[in-house]
């Protein structure tokens, strides 16, 4: 096992609102990265932290509005965050709360340490205070004298407070950023921070008089004051590991932090200088993502309802939701969220590309070999494609480029689809050695694909592995093994059980196709020769209504139907008695091939053929989706 450890944090979220898409997004990113690192390094080497930020004016106001005590209020909302993460299948190692005693003790210790070192001093401060932001603004930061966020005029407050000598560490920080080019990434945010640091860095006010704000942590050296927002919240990243003496702190610090651009400054400037003043090593990387723009209006227009994005995880499934947000946003940039785009991705990438490939391969293995396919040769076909995909995923995840990592996995899926279309196992003799080899290889690649996918779509990956009879694989396979799995394999077999349907296709309810990247069409289940539209038009498909049905004596399968097409009546013989007994037919609307040459079956002339779909021996009749008159043409 590697000595390398990976410690990843999300921001701790304010409890003045319940969880929304933005909070879920960062936590999904962190969960995915933690799972990926667990595959790479081993479960014990990875620590994933999230939690809630529970002190301050805003929380007191929100509690008052809800008619609750601050403590009851923060307990309740924090509980909602915890429940939401469980519902989304997110699995942090710890959920920290800033109202917890261990955190409060760590904050006081941290403050005392910096105070003792002489980097906290008492002074007077006058400034423009925005109650919405809970912070002072300098003249320069205001826009037309107003808070740039709230567009309200701040209150001028003059009071005595404690200050952190942040300015003292400005040169050190600039130098550190220059010497560690990926300390803050992507680069645009690093540049933003460096631009900010061109101006002199002011000292940071870190306290509030307890007379004005009681819902905070008292300063250890002056209990007339409580500490203020960032000197409380940022310290969660080390208090959670039991700083100063905790084993976890020794093992896991320094962290990789994950945040959105809204809290860049406190993380990129306050936090490293605070750590420096306390004599602690700075974090490893600050990874900054963009903002979701939520197109609620668009959603409500096309679907008739306003949908909260998080509800879409319930509606379409957690993995479809995860896939969409991970695939759609380029790390670092903003992105638009819309339900239509989610459905389009679900249908194209998940139901078609991945779902069809998986069920096609597993069903053939069941049909041909009763579920067991044994290794036939070790020529390692597609091993290079798996290797390339695994390397590309690892390289992309190193940069938090989730969308690129998924694109690499989909390129493997597409190569596998092409491999099947080229080899057409559905047309070949099951006993042919080549057929076995192709299906064995396909199963092998699906196994590797499931492992690659596990960090991103854990539930789907686990179902895929279950269907392949390899349920515990993610625990035992390390990421770097994936590429070599296929090469030189001498023995092995796949034992396919029930084939789960991974993603149902969602019927689009909007007329206009949503604007998402077009995907190449997946291979159909059986690849027949291609026909032109003219060829298709030669088939006269009609809606017909069944008037009556009777069994045909001496036949196990055949049933004789009397059907109506507009004013015309016909007799049709269908081989569907075992699936649809005679008494089940009357009144059904079906689809009929109306211009089929009449044929005689058991002495009865049949004038047409009933359409039905088959899935692994199960037969389902095709029918119009809504009532429509008999005789209507199918186009």
Applying CB under 6 A, which residues contact ligand MSP?
Answer: 11-14, 22-23, 25-26, 53, 233-234, 236, 259-260, 262-263, 291-292
* Contact between residue 386 and residue 412 where contact means Cβ atoms under 8 Å apart: yes
Smallest CA-to-CA distance from 316 within 296, 333, 298, 341 is with 341
Q: Torsions phi, psi of 497, nearest 5?
A: -100, -145
- Closest contact distance (angstroms) between CB of 243 and ligand MSP is 15
Catalytic entry in 55, 147, 387, 577? 147
| Catalytic residue selected from 128, 130, 205, 436 | 130
> C-beta of 64: minimal distance to ligand MSP in Å?
19
Q: Which of 146, 261, 298, 564 is catalytic?
A: 298
Residue 305 zone, left/alpha/beta (φ > 0; ψ -120 to 50; rest): beta
Is 130 a catalytic site residue?
Answer: yes
Closer residue to ligand MSP in complex, CB, 53/319 = 53
Q: Can you state the percent helix, strand and coil of the chain, rounding each to 5?
A: 45, 20, 35
Q: Which is nearer to ligand MSP, 13 or 137 (CB)?
A: 13
Q: Which is nearer to ligand MSP, 309 or 425 (CB)?
A: 309
Please give the structure tokens belonging to residue 63: 């509690």
| CB of 78 vs ligand MSP, minimal distance in Å | 12
CB 296 to ligand MSP: min, Å: 12
Q: Is 23 a catalytic residue?
A: yes
User: Are the beta carbons of 196 and 269 closer than 8 angstroms?
Assistant: yes
Q: Catalytic pick from 23, 104, 387, 577?
A: 23
Pick 22 or 127: Cβ nearer ligand MSP: 22
| Cβ partners under 8 Å of residue 537, min gap 6 | none
Residue 14 or 410 having the CB closest to ligand MSP = 14
CA–CA distance, 236 with 255 (Å, rounded to integer) = 12
By beta-carbon proximity to ligand MSP, the closer residue of 25 and 440 is 25
Q: How many residues are there in the chain?
A: 635
Give catalytic status of residue 205 as yes or no.
Answer: no
Q: Which of 180, 301, 315, 480 is catalytic?
A: 301
How far apart are CB 53 and ligand MSP at their closest, in Å?
3
Could you tell me the smallest distance in angstroms from the CB atom of residue 202 to ligand MSP?
20
Nearest distance from C-beta of residue 28 to ligand MSP, angstroms: 10
Contact indicator for 486, 451 with CB cutoff of 8 Å: no
Tell me whether residue 115 or residue 291 sits nearer to ligand MSP (CB atom): 291
**For 76, left (φ over 0), alpha (ψ -120 to 50), or beta?**
alpha
Q: How far is residue 19's CA from residue 13's CA, in Å, rounded to a whole number?
A: 8
Q: 129-138 as b/e, with b when 16 or more CB fall inside 10 Å?
A: bbeebbbbbe
The helix (H) or strand (E) run that includes residue 102 is helix 101-116
Torsion of CA 446, 41, 181, 10, to 10 degrees: 90
Q: Based on the residue annotation, tell me whether 150 is a catalytic residue of this protein.
A: yes
Shortest separation between residue 206's beta carbon and ligand MSP, angstroms: 14
> Rounded CA gap, 343 and 362, in Å?
25
Q: Which is nearer to ligand MSP, 29 or 445 (CB)?
A: 29
520-527 contacts, C-beta under 8 A, 24 or more apart = 520/414, 522/352, 522/353, 522/356, 522/357, 522/417, 523/356, 523/417, 523/418, 523/420, 523/421, 525/356, 525/360, 525/426, 526/426, 526/427, 527/421, 527/424, 527/426, 527/427
Active-site residue among 150, 178, 480, 487?
A: 150
Residue with nearest beta carbon to ligand MSP: 22
Cα atoms in the Cβ-side hemisphere of radius 13 Å centred on 336:
12
Token pair 């005590």 is at which residue? 69
Q: Is 146 among the residues known to form the active site?
A: no
Q: Hey, which residues are catalytic here? A: 20, 23, 130, 133, 147, 150, 298, 301
């Amino acid at each position: 096992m590697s000595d390398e450890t990976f410690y990843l944090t999300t921001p701790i979220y304010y409890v003045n609102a319940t969880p929304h898409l933005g909070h879920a997004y960062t936590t999904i990113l962190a969960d995915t990265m933690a799972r990926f690192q667990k595959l790479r390094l081993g479960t014990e080497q990875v620590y994933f932290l999230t939690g809630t930020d529970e002190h301050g004016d805003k929380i007191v106001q929100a509690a008052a509005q809800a008619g609750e005590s601050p403590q009851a209020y923060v307990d309740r909302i924090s509980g909602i965050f915890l429940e939401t993460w469980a519902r989304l299948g997110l699995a942090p190692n710890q959920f920290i709360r800033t109202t917890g005693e261990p955190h409060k003790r760590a904050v006081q210790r941290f403050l005392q340490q910096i105070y003792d070192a002489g980097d906290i001093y008492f002074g007077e401060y006058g400034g423009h205070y925005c109650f919405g932001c809970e912070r002072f603004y300098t003249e320069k930061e205001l826009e037309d004298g107003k808070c740039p966020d709230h567009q309200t005029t701040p209150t001028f407050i003059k009071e005595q407070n404690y200050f952190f000598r942040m300015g003292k560490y400005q040169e050190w920080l600039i130098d550190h950023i220059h010497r560690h080019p990926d300390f803050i990434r992507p680069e645009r945010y690093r540049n933003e921070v460096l631009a900010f640091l061109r101006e002199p860095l002011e000292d940071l006010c870190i306290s509030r008089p307890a007379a004005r704000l009681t819902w905070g942590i008292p300063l250890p050296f002056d209990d007339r004051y409580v500490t203020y927002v960032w000197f409380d919240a940022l310290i969660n990243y080390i208090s959670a590991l039991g700083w100063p003496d905790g084993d976890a702190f020794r093992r896991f610090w320094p962290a990789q932090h994950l945040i959105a651009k809204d809290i860049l400054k406190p993380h990129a400037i306050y936090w490293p200088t605070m750590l420096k003043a306390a004599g602690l090593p700075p974090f490893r990387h600050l990874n900054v993502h963009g903002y979701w723009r939520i197109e609620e209006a668009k959603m409500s227009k096309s679907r008739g309802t306003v949908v909260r994005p998080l509800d879409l995880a319930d509606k379409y499934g957690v993995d479809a939701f995860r896939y969409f947000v991970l695939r759609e946003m380029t790390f670092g940039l903003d992105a638009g969220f819309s339900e239509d785009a989610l459905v389009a991705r679900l249908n194209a990438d998940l139901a078609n590309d991945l779902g069809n490939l998986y069920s096609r391969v597993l069903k053939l293995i069941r049909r041909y070999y009763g579920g067991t396919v044994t290794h036939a040769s070790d020529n390692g076909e597609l091993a290079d494609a798996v290797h390339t995909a695994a390397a590309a995923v690892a390289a992309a995840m190193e940069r938090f480029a989730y969308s690129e990592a998924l694109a690499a996995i989909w390129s493997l899926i597409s190569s596998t689809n092409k491999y099947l279309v080229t080899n057409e196992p559905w047309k070949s003799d099951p006993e042919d050695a080549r057929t076995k080899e192709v299906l064995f290889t396909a199963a092998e690649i699906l196994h590797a694909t499931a492992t690659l996918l596990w960090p991103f779509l854990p539930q789907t990956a686990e179902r895929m592995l279950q269907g392949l009879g390899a349920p515990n694989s993610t625990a035992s396979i390390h990421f770097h093994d994936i590429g070599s799995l296929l090469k030189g394999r001498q023995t092995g077999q796949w034992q396919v059980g029930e084939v789960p349907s991974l993603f149902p296709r969602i019927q689009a309810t909007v007329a206009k196709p949503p604007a998402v990247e077009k995907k190449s069409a997946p291979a159909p289940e059986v690849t027949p020769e291609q026909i032109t539209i003219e060829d298709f038009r030669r088939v006269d498909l009609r809606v017909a209504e069944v008037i009556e049905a009777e069994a045909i004596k001496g036949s196990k399968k055949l049933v004789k139907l009397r059907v109506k097409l507009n004013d015309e009546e016909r007799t049709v013989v269908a081989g569907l008695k075992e699936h649809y007994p005679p008494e089940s037919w009357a009144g059904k609307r079906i689809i009929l091939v109306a211009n089929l040459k009449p044929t005689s079956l058991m002495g009865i002339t049949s004038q047409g053929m009933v359409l039905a779909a088959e899935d692994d021996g199960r037969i389902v009749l095709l029918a119009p989706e809504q009532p429509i008159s008999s005789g209507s043409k199918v186009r």
